[in-house]
Amino acid sequence: MKTSEQKVLKFIDEKKMISPGDKILVAFSGGPDSVFALNFLKKYQRRLKIELAAAHINHNLRKNALKDEQFCKKFCREMEIDLFVHSADVKEVSKKLKISIEEAARGVRYDFVNKKMLEIKFDKIVTAHNKNDNLETVLLNLFKGTGIRGLSGIPVVRGKIIRPFLVLSKDEILNCLKHQNINYRIDESNLSDDYQRNFIRNRLVSEIKESINPNIDEAVFRTSQNVSGYKDFLSEKIVKKYRKKIAVESGQISVPVELYKKSGVFIISELLIESVSEKFGIELSFENLKQINSLFEKQKGKNLELAGGINVIRESDKIVLYRKNTNTNSEEIIIHPGQIIKTGNFEIYIEQTENADNIKAGKGSYEIISADNITNIFILRSWKKNDKFIPLGMKNLKKVSDFLTDIKVPSKDRKEQLVLVNDDKLVWILGYRIDDRFKVTDTTEKYYKLWLKPIRKETKY
């Protein structure tokens, strides 16, 4: 038992995973691996000089999911560790994104722990993957078809995510828990062969251990670590040479179609993996990369949504990856003059005034409209397919969709575009144009000033 713990401490030091003062969030399922991980880090908290918290995701996939959640709460309460719990409908995510249950669950987990890490201002995330997990990953990648990255197994460090327990086998972890008399939860779905990974774990690996090599997990771990060294060297060279050719800014990543045509799938995939990990803290899977790369061959406007909240869209000359603004309200919001509404990264404010002297429109940041013959009830909402308005300076109605296309609003931004409505008439396409019917004239007596102000935050996602 002590030997296993010393192996982990040595592994942490060798890979420089943890620094004194680090604030670490542990992905905590209540299973043996994560129980061992949280208990280990609590035991060596003073030695490592770290601050600890845990995050539990209830996937709502099994009948015992609630009992798992209750176990995690009790365990953390007794250990005096803060626990953050999130409940997700993984089946719905799987159905919506047309991906496997496993892939959806993985995306939901990483999305939540990354967001929570940023929210509580922690430094790193620990996942409790072990040698057996690495073996299953390498074999699964091999059978599906993979390159050097797939054979390098589970990364020890990827961005803010660290995996100190990859150096241990499942048996070592279970023996430690048994020796210390520590309870944990059993995921009965792991006993089934319904999932591909379970088939490899329950049937294939056991046959290999019996017939070929009883220490296959250790052998593959050594191999994957060697391959990982080659992969890191190659990736560094690629990223260093091509990184400046992609744009990573303003909450998004843009990859030129021309770069894809000249450089090919392999180089683009390496760039995507590094930039997405750095920008969004998400590890792209092999399937994710296939989906993204396929968009380079499709027409403008095609898009897809990946687990973890990453949206990808094909623009005319580039592929854009971004995290959808989950704070944007899709429902209708009633606004009265004098009321401030926060939506997404902006504040909306309607100010009534009877003196418009020296007031000029603010080129999108604010607008002045006539308050004569207008109600004091405004509605803020997303634009709809058949919405029309008369753009300022024009005489005829125009579809909002056509207007946004004409002024070259990027496809990804069009979907989240908000409009301000009064008495069923569109008053303002926020940030762009007011309706001509609400313009100020020589006979206007009262005015509304419509404000659109950015909310300044340390972190946005």
Q: How high is the pLDDT of residue 344?
A: 67
Mean predicted confidence (pLDDT) in 382-390: 89
As a whole number of angstroms, the distance between CA 53 and CA 209 comes to: 37
Element (H, E) at 317: none
Tell me the pLDDT tens digit for each residue of 296-323: 888 877 888 886 678 888 888 889 888 7
Residue 328 has pLDDT above 60, yes or no: no
Angle between helices 286-295 and 265-280 (to 10 degrees): 110
Residue 459 has pLDDT above 70, yes or no: no
As a whole number of angstroms, the distance between CA 226 and CA 444 comes to: 76
- Residue 325's pLDDT band, with cuts at 50, 70 and 90, is low
Enumerate the domain spans of the chain.
2-232, 246-323, 333-454
CA distances to 263, 295, 315, 407, 412 from 318, rounded to whole Å, are: 14, 10, 5, 18, 12
Element (H, E) at 264: none
Mean predicted confidence (pLDDT) in 134-153: 87
| Fold (topology level) of 333-454 | Phenylalanyl-tRNA Synthetase; Chain B, domain 3 (3.50.40)
Q: Which of 163-177, 333-347, 417-431 has the lowest mean pLDDT?
A: 333-347
Angle between helices 216-242 and 131-144 (to 10 degrees): 70
Convert 327-364 into a string of H (helix), E (strand) and C (coil): CCCCCCEEECCCCEEEECCEEEEEEEECCCCCCCCCCC
Q: How high is the pLDDT of residue 138?
A: 93
Tell me the pLDDT tens digit for each residue of 19-53: 999 999 999 999 999 999 999 999 999 999 999 99
Q: What are the b/e assignments for 366-389, b being 16+ CB within 10 Å?
A: bbbbbbeebeeebebbebeeebbb
Residue 326 has pLDDT above 50, yes or no: no
As a whole number of angstroms, the distance between CA 400 and CA 417 comes to: 10
- Name the nearest CA neighbour of 438 among 378, 396, 366, 390: 390
Residue 2 has pLDDT above 80, yes or no: no
Q: How high is the pLDDT of residue 198?
A: 84
CATH of 246-323, picked from 1.20.1270.30, 3.30.465.60, 3.40.630.30, 3.30.930.10, is: 3.30.465.60
- Residue 182's pLDDT band, with cuts at 50, 70 and 90, is very high
- Residue 189's pLDDT band, with cuts at 50, 70 and 90, is low
Residue 415 has pLDDT above 80, yes or no: no
Q: Which two tokens stand for residue 146?
A: 């993979």
Residue 56 has pLDDT above 90, yes or no: yes
Tell me the pLDDT tens digit for each residue of 204-215: 998 999 999 999
Q: How high is the pLDDT of residue 178?
A: 95
CATH of domain 2-232: 3.40.50.620
Residue 404 and residue 426 in contact, taking contact as beta carbons nearer than 8 Å: no
Residue 200 has pLDDT above 50, yes or no: yes
Q: How high is the pLDDT of residue 353?
A: 78
Q: Which of 164-173, 309-318, 384-393 has the lowest mean pLDDT?
A: 309-318
Residue 180 has pLDDT above 70, yes or no: yes
Same fold, 2-232 and 333-454: no
pTM reported for the whole predicted model: 0.65
